[in-house]
Structure 1
Amino acid sequence: MSYDTLPDFVRATATELGIPGVAVGVWAGGQEIYACHGVTSVDNPLPVDQDTLFQLGSVTKTYTATAVLHLVASGRVELDAPVRRYVPELRLADERTAAEITVSQLLNHTAGLDWGLIVDTGEGDDALAGYVAKMAELTLIAAPGVRASYSQAGYNLLGRVIEKVVGMPYEKAISSLVFEPLGLSRSFFARDDVMTRRFAVGHNLDEDGTLSVARPWRHSRSGNPGGGIVASVSDQLRWARFQLGDGRAESGAPVLPAEVLHRMKEPTVALRASTLGDAIGLGWFLRDVDGVRTVGHGGSANGQFAEFLTVPERDFAIVAVSNAGPNGIPFNQAVVRWALDHYLGLVDGDPTPVPYDRGRAQELVGRYDIDSMTLAIATDGAGLTLEVRIKPEIRTASETELPADYPPADFGLLPGDGDEYIITGGGLKGQRGYFTRDEHGAVVGADLAGRLFNRVKAAAG
């Protein structure tokens, strides 16, 4: 069914997918357009509007990257400098890697760092310092500069770079470098700032299919540089307008040189079969849709999801936030696609998998791991399924409730060499990835959402 207006589409899609509360903002034709629906919480419902605060998750990385580029433009940081110039206390599992990784490699996820560490280093101003002190425990997946693999740890380390250079806690630095100059008055990190305003809580599905409030509402402070901002869609559209502009705030005050702002959106490393994009800039994912370049970033928290996309050559932006898993991601993606089509005439579709091949399927069956999650691939002889689970030992050790697992979902291989795939069902529907092989042709890893899951060898006997 087609819908003529954004509010109609947002309302119908949120209802169909069972999302309690959503907010969408569009910048098109020099105007802001909003569509909000539902409530902040199923337990304590308040209407969602354009000023309701949602967790942005990894969209935060675009703010961190912009702050780093501000320091680059002012001569206080060099992109190609080793990180240890600014964080000399950095220790990793491999000394050579610790000495070699650069600021730019953290920005474009090519530092060779695994996704992250599940640690809580407290809520004090030393939270990031404590996180960096534990990075010697982090798995290294490649030598610096060899390949892209999405890393939360890398952006948390960038937050520590900002702290050391500016001489103040990360959150205060972002407020000084980004929030205040751009007039982002509805963007926060601290719970005390959020709780005095209307804000959304996340929701996850229980085993009986009902939604319950996700707890904890957010995780520890050390993850703020990679995913800690809480903001409204109205503030995100202001952020989008800055990113589409010439580096000046709405007041005309210079914030970032135009050439530096535009450099962030130039490709630095290509991505293969990734829903995130075709390439990574400096803090941004770049993707061509119907022959037109888009620049964006997604994010997720515990039961909250965000999508932020701009189309620079069309002076267009859309932001979408939702407060329930697993359907928050499909909701955001559906709204973005509708908006691209409705406002710009750009059609964004998924590729079609090839027919099931038993031989190829058997090559892929098994378990693949990152530090905190397991990706399990199975076949029933007629199709393939992919399941994403938080490791049981992580759940057991956690003192707080963690997000629900993604149950097995159908996926299929794409035309070509047979190593690229797309998920065709469930909360991860539309996500793309690929399998990695060693020099002998054996499958040794699977990329999903930009992260490398290494294959776990089957136990002997």
Structure 2
Amino acid sequence: MRALSDFVEVTATKLGIPGVTVGVWVDGQEVYACHGVTSVDNPLPVDRDTLFLLGSVTKTYTATALMRLVAEGRVVLDAPVRRYIPELELADERAAKEVTVLNLLNHTAGMDLGMIVDTGEGNDALAAYVAKMAELKQISPPGARASYSQTGYNLAGRIIEKVTGLTYEKAIASLVLEPLGLSNSFFARDDIMTRRFAVGHNPAEDGTLSVARLWRRWRGDNPGGGLASSVADQIRWARFHLGDGCADSGVCTLLAENLHQMKEPTVELRGSALGNAIGIGWFLRDMDGVRLVGHGGSANGQFSELLIVPERNFAIVTLSNAGPNGITFNQSVVRWALEMYLGVMVRDPEPLPYNENRAWEIVGKYETDAQMLIIRTNGEKLTLEVGIRPEIRAAADTELPPDYAPADIGLLSADGDEYVVTSGGLKGQRGFFSRDESGAVVGVDLAGRLYNLTRTTSE
């Protein structure tokens, strides 16, 4: 297994990542490769127990905890959220009345991506976050389409609180972490800072890396992205989802049929690098005759990727601590491992030659409540820029992650609206454009998230 260590070291060095850690479950064995340091300011060697922020991989924990409550008869997937949170108010009253638990778990609730709002670190942080959700734009009726939403998972976390009578963090510990022996996974800063943990890094204009601050977002975002964990715990987590619902200790928290249900498609995805469909808490992709089940995550300068292949009893976890190249590192390692261990090739689609008429149909500024996406053309190629809206960044009282540098994109079909990013930190990401009844472009999806057109180049 020296080949894994060599590939990890060479790739991390080439991409300038201070610290990375990779775990693989293959042929009934755990294999690890660690390289680099936790921080450029206070360096400690990264090992298999070093804590990294998982970002949105946390959503798999929220979904699994809710599935345990479903298995126990305490939650019904098709039930309206208001059965558990009767005080829920959304910008659209019909949506507040109709949105279901499953809509939250498969990103079909029609909610915008998320809110940048700090509701404190007290036990009421999640309740206070949900109380502000009436301020969030409703982008589509529940069930109408998939659009990735951090807010939806935070609301799912509040369901867990209401049903269990515990804080979200204590409920996840009780329902998932403790039964599975995940003893190196934490939400609270006091638990994390007393152990070896990685910090994120972001580049300056000259490429020099510095420690990313803030280190972690606020407690109200925990259900969608707040867990810190080690690669060893993540391999154990992956093995649980490859298994029959029981931990190595023999403690069973779910039935095999519950785990299987989470990996079955509930809604299709169009033109997305995330996958072909969404299960319950997982993105699904069929490639080279096998189903890939996974989830990625990002924090401020930290990136995670978890992928399992159930029919081959295979899993890989990769964690890195620098943006934007951490995404490239994770993707490179996952692709190498799939080919090396399983013979599965991940292929990016080839874009079509530049078409000026089509280019001018899609250029413009697109936005969510917190982010913006700008597509430009210079008459020879298309570029995409994505980042935080300037007014949101100016109003923030903490440092926010840097915007992505402009990247090239290419269209994928002469009669469709799908595209692929061909350079930069988002290379390989795919998406598509939405049109109204007249055929005019009104929105663009990137990484499963809908950005609505707010300005064309003619304005």
Q: TM-score, normalised by structure 1?
A: 0.98
Q: CA deviation at 1:289?
A: 2.0
- Could you give the per-residue CA deviations for residues 378-417 of structure 1, whole angstroms, max 9, x where no partner exists? 0111100000121111111111111111011111001352
CA distance in 2, matches of 1:443, 1:16: 39
Identify the match of residue 16 of structure 2 among 15, 18, 28. 18
Q: Residue 235 of structure 1 corresponds to which residue in structure 2?
A: 233
| Mapping 1:410-421, distance limit 5 Å | 410-421=408-419
Check if 1:447 corresponds to 2:421: no
Q: Residue 396 of structure 2 corresponds to which residue in structure 1?
A: 398
CA distance in 1, matches of 2:416, 2:255: 44
The answer (yes or no) to whether the contact 2:23–2:231 under 8 Å persists in 1 is yes
CA distance in 1, matches of 2:384, 2:457: 21
Check if 1:317 corresponds to 2:315: yes
Identify the match of residue 50 of structure 2 among 49, 52, 55. 52
SS in 1 for 2:6: helix
Q: Residue 91 of structure 2 corresponds to which residue in structure 1?
A: 93
For structure 1, the 5+ residue unaligned runs are none
Q: Residue 120 of structure 2 corresponds to which residue in structure 1?
A: 122
SS in 1 for 2:169: helix
Q: Residue 291 of structure 1 corresponds to which residue in structure 2?
A: 289
Q: CA deviation at 1:448?
A: 0.2
The answer (yes or no) to whether the contact 1:360–1:418 under 8 Å persists in 2 is no
Q: Residue 82 of structure 1 corresponds to which residue in structure 2?
A: 80
Identify the match of residue 248 of structure 1 among 236, 246, 249. 246
CA distance in 1, matches of 2:92, 2:384: 32
SS in 2 for 1:453: strand
Q: CA deviation at 1:67?
A: 0.2
Q: CA deviation at 1:459?
A: 8.8
- Could you give the per-residue CA deviations for residues 247-273 of structure 1, whole angstroms, max 9, x where no partner exists? 011111211011111100000000001
Q: CA deviation at 1:418?
A: 3.4
Q: Residue 280 of structure 2 corresponds to which residue in structure 1?
A: 282
CA distance in 1, matches of 2:457, 2:411: 27
Q: Residue 331 of structure 2 corresponds to which residue in structure 1?
A: 333
SS in 2 for 1:150: coil
Q: Residue 422 of structure 1 corresponds to which residue in structure 2?
A: 420
The answer (yes or no) to whether the contact 2:5–2:33 under 8 Å persists in 1 is yes
CA distance in 2, matches of 1:278, 1:320: 22
CA distance in 1, matches of 2:249, 2:217: 35
Q: CA deviation at 1:457?
A: 3.2
Q: CA deviation at 1:103?
A: 0.3
CA distance in 1, matches of 2:354, 2:303: 32
CA distance in 2, matches of 1:416, 1:298: 30
CA distance in 2, matches of 1:51, 1:416: 49
Q: Which amino acid aligns with 2:158?
A: R
The answer (yes or no) to whether the contact 2:363–2:456 under 8 Å persists in 1 is no
- Could you give the per-residue CA deviations for residues 347-397 of structure 1, whole angstroms, max 9, x where no partner exists? 001010000000000101110001111101001111000001211111111
Q: Residue 383 of structure 1 corresponds to which residue in structure 2?
A: 381
Of all paired residues, the percent bearing the same amino acid is 72
CA distance in 2, matches of 1:4, 1:193: 33
Q: Which amino acid aligns with 1:37?
A: H
CA distance in 2, matches of 1:259, 1:48: 37
SS in 2 for 1:37: strand
Q: TM-score, normalised by structure 2?
A: 0.99
CA distance in 2, matches of 1:153, 1:369: 16
- Between 1:26-35 and 1:254-263, the stretch displaced more is 254-263
- Could you give the per-residue CA deviations for residues 277-322 of structure 1, whole angstroms, max 9, x where no partner exists? 1000011000112221010000000000000000000000000000
- Could you give the per-residue CA deviations for residues 134-161 of structure 1, whole angstroms, max 9, x where no partner exists? 0000110100100000000000000000
For structure 2, the 5+ residue unaligned runs are none
| Mapping 1:83-232, distance limit 5 Å | 83-232=81-230
- Between 1:250-259 and 1:192-201, the stretch displaced more is 250-259
